Amino acid sequence: MRVRIHNTTIFLAAAAVFLAACASESEAVPEISEAEITAAVPELDAVHELMHPLWHDAYPNQDFDSIRALVPEFEPLLAAVDSVELPGILRHKQEGWDNGKVVMLSSFEGLKQAMEDNDTEAMLSHTEAFHLGYEQLARMVRPLVPELESFHQELYKIMHYYGPAEDAFKIHEATADMLQKMAPLQQVALPERLADRQEQFDAAVAALGEKVDELEHSLHGSSIEEVLEAVDAVHTAYGEVEAVFQ
């Protein structure tokens, strides 16, 4: 028993020396704001405040006067959405966001033209398309699986800050957080509409957990290059989990 304790102490001490050596050579890592790692676009949320009465009241009741009254109120909100800069954690969705934004704004322009033409049938058609475009953007922003987004926050820190700075201490801390967040992620039950993907999701999450374990193991004595390779493997595995929903 004494030998086991002694060996464990030596092992942990060696890991600490390794982390300290890496940290001494790393660049200073800037503070990461909460806004940067939060999957949210407040400007799009503001659009919802008007979308709700448009879609749930004016559209089903074919209340064209209300539709006409709401359209000018959308103008400044949509201008804000058009110029918004996505938070860092959503930047990998930039292309999809840009394409979806074009669809939504084009539908809104169609709605305005239908109003000018006093074409009530076209007004309803473009209102429906406008709402659909908004919903597609909202789904892109809103985390489908909050547990996966929580995990992604830690991985984002490593990929964009701690890894490039080769800050092994910070990588170690974020990896410990990812390990904790794996447990609730492994218990996720997908919504009923995605139930047919549960088995694929579970397998992808299990593979992700293995890569996180390998990353954690690499932090105890491996070179920083090997640690970063393990980080890349976690990132690839995370992408496989996201791909389940594509």
pLDDT tens per residue, the chain (246 residues)?
Answer: 333 333 433 334 444 444 444 444 445 677 899 999 999 999 999 999 999 999 999 999 999 999 999 999 999 999 999 999 999 999 989 999 999 999 999 999 999 999 999 999 999 999 999 999 999 999 888 888 999 999 999 999 999 999 999 999 999 999 999 999 999 999 999 999 999 999 999 999 999 999 999 999 999 988 999 999 999 999 999 999 999 988
Contact at 8 Å (CB) between 10 and 57? Answer: no
d(CA 234, CA 245): 18
Write the CATH number of the domain with boundaries 2-32+144-243.
Answer: 1.20.120
Distance in angstroms (rounded) separating the CA atoms of residues 182 and 186: 6
Closest-CA residue to 231 (of 164, 143, 148): 164
Report the C-alpha gap between 197 and 204 in whole angstroms: 11
CA distance 39 to 31: 18
**Spatial contact of 221 and 208, defined as CB atoms under 8 Å apart:** no
- In the chain, ranges of CATH 1.20.120 domains: 2-32+144-243, 42-141
What predicted TM-score, i.e. pTM, was given to this entire model? 0.77
**Second-level CATH architecture of 42-141:** Up-down Bundle (1.20)
In this structure, what token pair is assigned to residue 176?
Answer: 């410990």
Q: At what angle do helices 146-157 and 224-243 cross, to 10 degrees?
A: 150
